[in-house]
Amino acid sequence: MREPAHLVLADGAVFSGEAAGFAPRDGITTGEFVFNTALSGYQEVITDPSYAGQVIAFTYPHVGNYGVTPLDDESVRPWCRGVVVRELNPVGSNWRAREELEAFLVRHRVPALVGVDTRRLTRHLRAHGALPGAFGTAPLATLEAAAREARGTDDTDFVTTVTTSEPYRRGDAGRHVVAFDYGVKRTMVDQLARRFSVSVVPATTTADEVLALAPDGVFLSNGPGDPAALDGLAAELARLLGRVPVFGICLGHQLLARALGGRTYKLPFGHHGSNHPVKDLATGRIEITAQNHNYAVDPDSLARAAVSHVDLNDGVVEGLALREERCFSVQYHPEAGPGPHDARYLFERFARLVESAEWWEG
């Protein structure tokens, strides 16, 4: 039998469920609650560093049905604060599985709440936006107090907690690319390493230190938190523009926009899922994309760069480009492992830019 538990959002909404995963000593877990609409890939979602500071509520009702395997980890450990699901399958049925999901959560000290009406929770977050809150086995009054004190991700730098502490190398193909690790996913590094010799460096690496590595290109990774809290990183990036080709993804896209003088803002409940339609304005091509972002770029602030991609659901800027300074970026995840592979061509576009400065088409 599982122990009864509750989830309380900062606006006072209460949801009931049962405790699962890791059990914190005080029975309280806090974070910003967001929902993810992907039908599979729960391990990749849970281990994506971009969820630092957040609690992930899965809209798909059955989670854990194919277990977990180290091959699907996107980072060395989960960085999310917790997980909320309707039903946590006790047995994973897949030949690749090496562990059950709940055992994985316990091992990595990730609390979970199961048996929750995730449909109601999702509708609430859609109506009121991503909200901080608390969940656990503590008395309801204690959880309500914790929810009122919980913080979201605004104005907070989570990148310094997830970035690598030391540089490392991957791959030995083609040109040399320096990749800023703002919370980079393993699949992203794998895609780069198939095409380049990659030096992955900490987020706080300076422009001078990057240039000392003599890169043929610079890559800006995904990562967590509010890009407005990272203007120091954007300032260093601005010093690289025009001197070396640049390709950014997710947080890297937002930091590139800010380096170009643009602004970012918080979406009501963000884009978290694997089925967002995006239009490439250069080619007219429609891509189904995987996304995970709470913040977006203000199109009216882009005096220097052009919008290259838009989300067909709500018109959010999903890409930008500046030919003169040989830089481009996308808000979504072309590596998408697992997920749609429609946008993998962007890594080839970056390779062409690094090789010859010709990149716009294709």
Q: Is 335 a catalytic residue?
A: yes
* CB distance 34 to 46 below 8 Å: no
Is 32 a catalytic site residue?
A: no
Edge to edge, the sheet with strand 286-297 lists: 168-170, 197-202, 176-181, 217-220, 246-249, 327-330, 317-322, 306-311, 264-280, 286-297
Catalytic residue among 32, 44, 250, 318: 250
Which of 199, 202, 215, 126 has its CA nearest to residue 164?
Answer: 202
Distances (CA, A) of 316 to 103, 129, 156, 220, 278: 38, 16, 23, 20, 9
**How many other C-beta atoms lie within 10 A of the C-beta of residue 221?**
26
Dihedral of CA 145/148/150/156: which sign? negative
* CA distances in angstroms from 136 to 14, 60, 73, listed in the order given: 12, 21, 26
Contact between residue 267 and residue 293 where contact means Cβ atoms under 8 Å apart: yes
Query: For the CA atoms of the chain, what is the radius of gyration?
Result: 20
**In whole angstroms, how far apart are CA 15 and each of 139, 215, 317, 327?**
13, 51, 34, 45
Residue 276 is a catalytic residue: no
Alpha-carbon span 256 to 61, nearest angstrom:
37
Round to whole Å and give the CA distance between 346 and 293: 19
Give the three-class secondary structure for 28.
coil
Buried b / exposed e along 37-67 (16+ C-beta atoms within 10 A): ebeebbbbbbbbbbbbbbbbbbbbeebbbbb
CB 172: neighbour CB atoms within 10 A? 10
**Which residues form the catalytic set?**
250, 333, 335
